[in-house]
A and B are shown apart, each in its own frame.
Chain A
Amino acid sequence: MLGIEDPWVVLAYVLCIISALLCLVWGAIKWNVDDTVDEPEDEIRHWAEEEDRVEEEL
Chain B
Amino acid sequence: MSIWMIIIVVAYLCVIAYLGFRGFKSTKSATDYMLGGRKVHPYVMAMSYGATFISTSAIVGFGGAAGVFGMGLLWLTFMNIFIGIFIAFWVFGGRTRRMGLRLDAHTFPELLGRRFQSRFIQGAAAVIIFMFIPLYASAVLTGAVKYISSQLSIDYNVALLLFSVIIAIYVIAGGIKGVMYTDALQGTIMLFGMLALLILTYIKMGGVSAAHQSLTDMASMVPAKLQAGGHQGWTSMPKFGSPLSWTLVSTIIMGVGIGVLAQPQLAVRYMTVKSGKELNRAIPIGGIFIMMMTGVAFIVGSLSNVHFQQTLGKVSIVAAKGDVEAIIPMYLQSAMPEWFSILFMLTLISAAMSTLSSQFHVMGTSLGRDLVEESMHKKKGGSGMLATRLGVLGGILISVYLSYIMELKFGKTGTAIVARGTAIFFGLCACAFLPMYVGALWNRGITKVGAIAGMLSGALSSMFWIFFVEQKASTALLLCNKLFGTRSLGISMVDGKEVFAASGPIVWAYVDPLIVGLPIAIIVTVSVSLFTKKMANEHLDICMGTK
Contact = CB atoms under 8 A, between A and B. Distances in A.
B461 to A, nearest CB: 30
B236 A19 contact: no
A20 B237 contact: no
B71 A9 contact: yes
A26 B284 contact: yes
Contact of B277 (A13, A23, A26, A32): A32
Interface stretch (B209-217, B313-321, B349-357, B430-438): B209-217
A26 B210 CA distance: 32
Interface string B284-320: 1111101100010000000000000000000000000
B275 interface: yes
Contacts of B85: 23
15 contacts: A2-B209, A3-B210, A6-B233, A9-B235, A12-B74, A12-B77, A20-B290, A31-B281, A34-B277, A35-B98, A36-B275, A37-B545, A38-B102, A39-B545, A47-B542
B103 interface: yes
B120 interface: no
Nearest to A25: B284
B102 to A, nearest CB: 6
A43 to B, nearest CB: 10
B94 to A, nearest CB: 5
Interface residues of A, number: 36
Given A3-B208, A9-B235, A16 B295 contact: yes
A36 B277 CA distance: 8
A47 to B, nearest CB: 7
B86 interface: yes
B132 interface: no
A46 B470 CA distance: 49
A9 B214 CA distance: 15
Given A19-B86, A23-B81, A9 B280 contact: no
A28 B288 CA distance: 13
A30 B89 CA distance: 13
A33 B276 contact: yes
Nearest to B98: A38
B216 A23 contact: no
Interface in A36-53: 36-39, 44-45, 47-48, 51
B284 A44 contact: no
B205 to A, nearest CB: 10
